[in-house]
A and B are shown apart, each in its own frame.
Chain A
Amino acid sequence: MNFFLILQRTIIILFCLYHVMAVGLFSMPTDDKRMEPLRQAVLPYIRPYLLTTSQWQQWNLFAPDPLRRVTEFAIEKRQGNAWVLSKSLTPKTLPWWRDTDELKLLRRLEDGGDAFAPLRRRYLEMHCHEENLRRGTWLRLAVRWFAIQKPPFPVPTQQWGVAAPAWNTKSIGEFTCP
């Protein structure tokens, strides 16, 4: 084997070892606080590589527990003294090829709390443009939700409370069309 081949192979092996270590350590669940000191200690060495190459990852799908909060979003507009539906944003009302991304976006806009308030207003502003709403139309992003119960052990289906859930409603952002 010539020198350049040995050099090339050595670089590849070192890269593989580094990649394996970086991916393994970065993926450790952040929910496991026992591992957090280790994770924090190695992050400065692996984060630049994983972020630059878009290899960041956390595998918390349906974990630690599955999502139990069922949410439905709607854009409502003010008419007189009442809020009326302008657009319903649920798996049933969105086209099947769009609902996953759109609902993911809406869930994250809600989860973002106060920090995402400007993004929720932006979402409503886009609705003004898309629906060509009149200037001064007052909109709000309403969320309806209920939580699927969390029984300590498997129970018959009737006891899950999903047949007639108790919905809660709140507004998570308001905007007046320009």
Chain B
Amino acid sequence: MELELSPDQEVFQDSTRRFLEAECPMTRVRELAEHPDGFERDWWQRGAALGWTALLVPEEQGGGSISGRGLIDLTLVADQFGRHVAPGPLVATNVVAAALAQSGTPEQQVELLPGIVAGEIVATWCDGCTVDRVGDGFVVRGAAAPVEAGAQADWLLVTGDDIQVLVPATASGVQATPLHSLDLVRRFATVRFDDVEVPASAAVARDSVERQLDVALVIQVAEMVGAADRVFAFTLEWAFDRYSFGRPLASYQELKHRFADMKMWLEACHATAAAAANAVEDEAPDAAELASVAKAYVGDFGMELMQDCVQMHGGIGLTYDHDLHVFLRRATQNRALFGSPAWHRQRLAGYLEEAV
């Protein structure tokens, strides 16, 4: 990610690092694989106290950032989430928080943002449903999947064709069915809406939907790069420590050259993730384009790097006991969500055509 952090950002990132090292070592992540929710609410609230869900919410609404550039600060958390494969609805909650802070009504902001910032409310994001205006309110129909924390969330932000609405998970007609999830601790569900009625006050302007996607991409790409960086580091160490034919793996030119390629991919991943984060933070004209570039690049080469690290480990890298797959699951899930690299390349072709 960023090459240089301010002292405040260093302290901030370090607090999350120390918290995750102490509270969420890999043994704990493996235990939570058996937990139906994948995380515990009181743990999420303690993480939220470190700022995890406050960064995209302005101070006057109960949030606040470290550097004045909240999305950049959030990538520091996401990087650590990737390095530790931390549980908790980081992407979903922050995307909804950003949406409400930008486009929510004052009443919605007062009702939900303090709870999201405190980690007491879990919110998530649903698309693929229809939202129809009926009488004074709206009716939501259809099913959204996969929805991050769909069965754990207290509130659902549903995106319709021309409006978003906030739906409480307890509303009549809402039903969440857990899905199998590639990640050990991040849960997804299909959320069905059977003629769910919400009042007019549930409406959220749809003007920030594209930005919501870009924010989600920045967070997930930062997570993928954090994971790739950690995996590369321990795989490099492994190459020094592992001997065959009386020599360390690190002494074989074939393997050295592959590590050189991986190092190049890793630096490129860091560079493009940081550039996307800065563009989206600044709401630059090329924000969406750079978010797609980052996802297209990291989705391909960050994953190639991690798969190559499995190859460097040999058979042990494919066992459940080795931690490699835990990182690979998180990164692969991120690759598949919010647009594959191929989807983003098509999006980029469109931008190029428009630019002419």
Report whether chain A binds chain B: no
- List the interface of chain A (C-beta within 8 A of B): none
- List the interface of chain B (C-beta within 8 A of A): none
